[in-house]
Amino acid sequence: MPRRACVVALILFTLSFAGAQASIHEFYVDALVGGALPVSWASESPTLSHLGFDALAAFEYDAPFGVPLRIELGYLGVSASRISSSGELYRAWQGGRVALLSGYIIDQFSLGQLGQARISLLAGGALTAADYTDTALAFAYPSIVLEPRIALILRGARAKGIVTGPSLSLPIELMFRAGTYSLAPGLSLGWRYRLGAIL
């Protein structure tokens, strides 16, 4: 675990310096729903795929030096995996998840009459409290998240002073579950609310 934490910290540190080019300080709220195709494996066990979904709320702040800081609070559900020819599978699980991400605003550009687009790459860690579906078994696990995102602020998408627009992210999460690994590439779609500059 300490080694994994160091890797995550190093990634965040590097990306933070790269992100210092940007210089906007704004506050955003996102609501997203998404699907994922997790794949689980363990030593001497088959590699099998699941179906997953999640719903989350995220709070993102463009900290000084243009580094986005993002907290995600969400609920996730993952189905039981496919079944191997020996009758083995991985259990379904569901739980609540909190993630802390930071990274790099790759580009932010005008779409002319349409509005603005921002492309960012975030990375960080997540902690999940969960239970195996249909059992009374509770567990918890950490994970590493890499999240490329694109968010649009449409011109004219303004109501009561809050600017809104669609957002899309392609998160990839590597979960460390009790000696078993699950890699979950996903796609999340949602709506972003720009609450305005606060600095």
Partner 1 sequence: MKLRFVPLTRTYAIVALAGILALLFAACAQDVKITAPRYALVFGVQDYLYARDLQYTLADATSMSTLLSAQGWQVTLATDTGATRAKIIAAIAALGSVESDSTVLIYFSGHGDTSSDYSTSYLCPSDTNFATDDTVDTSTEISASQLSTMLDALPTSNVIVLLDCCFSGGSIDPGSAVDASPQDYYSMQSYSAFSTAMSQFGSLLVSNSKDSGKKAPIVISAAGSEEESYDGPDGTNNNGQSPVTTNTSINMSHGIFTYYLLKAQDKGDSNGDGVVTTTEAFAYSCEQIQAWDENLTWEDVNYYGYYPFLPHISGGVRDLVLFTN
> Which residues contact partner 1 by CB under 8 A?
1, 35, 37, 40, 42-45, 49-51, 79-80, 82-83, 85-92, 94-96, 112-114, 127, 129-142, 154-156, 166, 176-180, 187, 189
When the beta carbons of 64 and 87 are compared against partner 1, the nearer one is: 87
Name the minimum Å distance from CB 179 to partner 1.
2
For 5, the 3-state DSSP assignment is helix
Q: Are 165 and 155 in contact (CB under 8 A)?
A: no
Q: How far is the CB of 86 from partner 1 (least distance, A)?
A: 4
Query: Nearer to partner 1 by C-beta: 28 or 90?
Result: 90
Least CB distance from residue 72 to partner 1, whole Å? 17
Q: Specify the residue, 96 or 196, whose C-beta has the smaller distance to partner 1.
A: 96
Cα end-to-end distance, the chain, whole Å: 36
* Shortest distance in whole angstroms from residue 64 CB to partner 1: 32
* Nearest-angstrom CA–CA distance, 2 and 68: 24
Q: What's phi and psi for 154, nearest 5 deg?
A: -75, 140
For strands 172-177 and 158-159, give the pairing: unpaired
Residue 94 is which amino acid? Q
Choose between 104 and 141: whose C-beta lies nearer to partner 1: 141
SS3 44: coil
